Amino acid sequence: MEQTTLKPIPLLDLQAQYKQIQSEIETAVIDTLRSGHYVLGPQVKNFEQSAGEFLGAKHAIGCANGSDALYIALLALDIKPGDEVITTPFTYVATAEAITQIGAVPVFADIDINTFNIKASDIEAKIGPKTRAIIVVHLYGQACEMTEIMELADRHGLKVIEDTAQSFGTKYLDKFAGTIGDIGTYSFYPTKNLSCAGDGGMLTTNSDALNERLRRIRAHGSSRRYYHDELGVNSRLDEVQAAILKIKLKHISSWNQARAQIASRYDIALSGREFQGCTIITPSLINNSTHIYHQYTIRLESNKLSLEDIESKRNLLRERLLAQGISSEIYYPLPLHMQKIYTDLGYADSAMPNSLLASKSILCLPVYPELSNSDQDRVIEALIKN
Ligand SMILES: *Cc1c(COP(=O)(O)O)cnc(C)c1O
């Protein structure tokens, strides 16, 4: 009976964010609609400039979405059919899909179970004569160990793409995630920390030569209208999305801080708690990176239970939360090396033990800047009272 009176707590509440900036956004959207410029116009240029300045990247290039950004990055780095690109199997499918679409082969390297990010030592073990590049993914809002990764990439002559779709504003040492390797890619899909009202994406680079190529490739390989110097794609950012992004960019630091504050409350309340014979492990931080908590991800750990039993406890915990109106999510339930589309790559399930373990034991909790203290308390109570 009590349940029916409880307000649902979603994983993410986009309307709450919209309400804060509604009039500014609506004015900007109407102005843009009236301007007569709809794609790759002054708003896009303006946003590219601001985003580049914010991130300390020499160039920022808008495009249609984060998946395209990865594909365009691989084209610009001259990755060819048959080349191998090392990446993580514990990510959204788009990361590896871009490699496959180029005709190259994704080679998976396992994650660190504490950070859920690809490990430098696992990358190094996968380097072979056909390896050309690495795509790291700064998962959930924390950067990968970039010092080690850049060092080994330099040593082996490999290009580095940073999939920063989940980490806009994360800092690694004195740089922003996405500006350390050759190219950074970003997504502004509505659920990302910095998001638009539809699809949007971006690339960053500090190289003038790559900037030119990225801009050309996003517009059908053309830098002069109707003259096509190389094969490209149609991947334009539109003016309305750019106008919205420009406004939201002003808030991203405080939004990211608000998420981190919620995370620290969760950390204190949840760390080391038990759920049916499992220990709740809160997110681990590495020394050199900040964490912007695109997701706040806990993990259930037990050295007594089997993987299947841990998975069923995790699923039970998720159901218990839902019974109290609290949404949670499993990002991601099946690592890429076990996906049907990648059976031909021939990986055994056990080839990526940490990715497999993560997929069966993690749970992402509600975290967004507008999540009230009392709702945070409800999430905490629901987790520790079970
Ligand atoms: C969202 C996401 C993408 C894809 O971005 P889209 O804008 O949806 O195409 C790629 N990689 C990661 C890690 C993502 O989270």
Report the DSSP beta bridge partners of residue 321. none
Q: Domain for residue 211, yes or no?
A: yes
Q: Would you state the structure tokens that stand for residue 355, as one six-digit string?
A: 């990715």
Is the model more confident about 149 or about 229? 149
| % the chain with pLDDT above 70 | 99
Is the model more confident about 225 or about 158? 158
Place of tokens 């994983």: 11
- The stretch 239-243 carries a mean pLDDT of 98
Q: Domain for residue 10, yes or no?
A: no
Best residue among 167, 189, 241 to mutate for probing ligand 1's pocket (most ligand atoms within 8 Å of CB) is 189
Q: What is the tens place of the pLDDT at every residue in 97-139?
A: 999 999 999 999 999 999 999 999 999 999 999 999 999 999 9
Q: Domain for residue 1, yes or no?
A: no
Domain that holds residue 53: 16-249
Choosing from 215, 249, 283, the residue where a domain stops is 249
Q: What is the tens place of the pLDDT at every residue in 325-370?
A: 999 999 999 999 999 999 999 999 999 999 999 999 999 999 999 9
**pTM score of the predicted model:** 0.97
Choosing from 230, 249, 268, the residue where a domain stops is 249
d(CA 165, CA 178): 9
Answer yes or no: do 156 and 243 share one domain: yes
Name the band, by pLDDT with cuts 50, 70 and 90, for residue 3: low
Cα dist from 361 to 252, 269, 272, 319, whole Å: 30, 19, 15, 14
Best residue among 92, 99, 140, 203 to mutate for probing ligand 1's pocket (most ligand atoms within 8 Å of CB) is 92
- The stretch 318-322 carries a mean pLDDT of 97
Cα(179) to ligand 1 centroid in Å equals 17
Q: What is the tens place of the pLDDT at every residue in 6-18?
A: 899 999 999 999 9
Report the nearest atom of ligand 1 relative to the CA of 191: 1
Choosing from 249, 281, 303, the residue where a domain stops is 249
Report the nearest atom of ligand 1 relative to the CA of 187: 7
d(CA 383, CA 386): 6
Per-residue pLDDT for 214 more than 70? Answer: yes
Answer yes or no: do 92 and 215 share one domain: yes
Cβ neighbours for 57, distance < 8 A, ≥ 6 positions apart: 51, 176, 178, 179, 184, 204, 205, 206
Best residue among 12, 67, 202 to mutate for probing ligand 1's pocket (most ligand atoms within 8 Å of CB) is 67
Per-residue pLDDT for 262 more than 60? Answer: yes
Q: Parallel, antiparallel, or unpaired: how do β-strands 274-275 and 201-205 relate?
A: unpaired
- CATH number of the domain that residue 166 is part of: 3.40.640.10
Per-residue pLDDT for 318 more than 60? Answer: yes
Mapping DSSP onto H, E and C, the string for 210-264 reads HHHHHHHHHECCCCECCECCCCCCECCCEHHHHHHHHHHHCCHHHHHHHHHHHHH
Name the band, by pLDDT with cuts 50, 70 and 90, for residue 5: confident
Answer yes or no: do 298 and 318 share one domain: yes
Answer yes or no: do 112 and 134 share one domain: yes
Question: What pLDDT, on the 0 to 100 scale, is given for residue 223?
Answer: 87
Answer yes or no: do 268 and 210 share one domain: no
- The stretch 238-264 carries a mean pLDDT of 98
Answer yes or no: do 64 and 175 share one domain: yes
Cα(198) to ligand 1 centroid in Å equals 13
> How many domains are contained in the chain?
2
Answer yes or no: do 153 and 256 share one domain: no
Answer yes or no: do 157 and 288 share one domain: no
Report the nearest atom of ligand 1 relative to the CA of 189: 7
Answer yes or no: do 174 and 277 share one domain: no
Place of tokens 């690592």: 335
Question: What pLDDT, on the 0 to 100 scale, is given for residue 4?
Answer: 57
Per-residue pLDDT for 61 more than 80? Answer: yes
Cα(224) to ligand 1 centroid in Å equals 30
Answer yes or no: do 300 and 236 share one domain: no
d(CA 196, CA 51): 14
Q: Domain for residue 259, yes or no?
A: yes
Q: What is the tens place of the pLDDT at every residue in 275-309?
A: 999 999 999 999 999 999 999 999 999 999 999 99
Per-residue pLDDT for 159 more than 90? Answer: yes
Answer yes or no: do 270 and 226 share one domain: no
Question: What pLDDT, on the 0 to 100 scale, is given for residue 6?
Answer: 84
Torsion angle, alpha carbons of 41, 47, 49, 55, to 10: -150
- The stretch 49-55 carries a mean pLDDT of 98
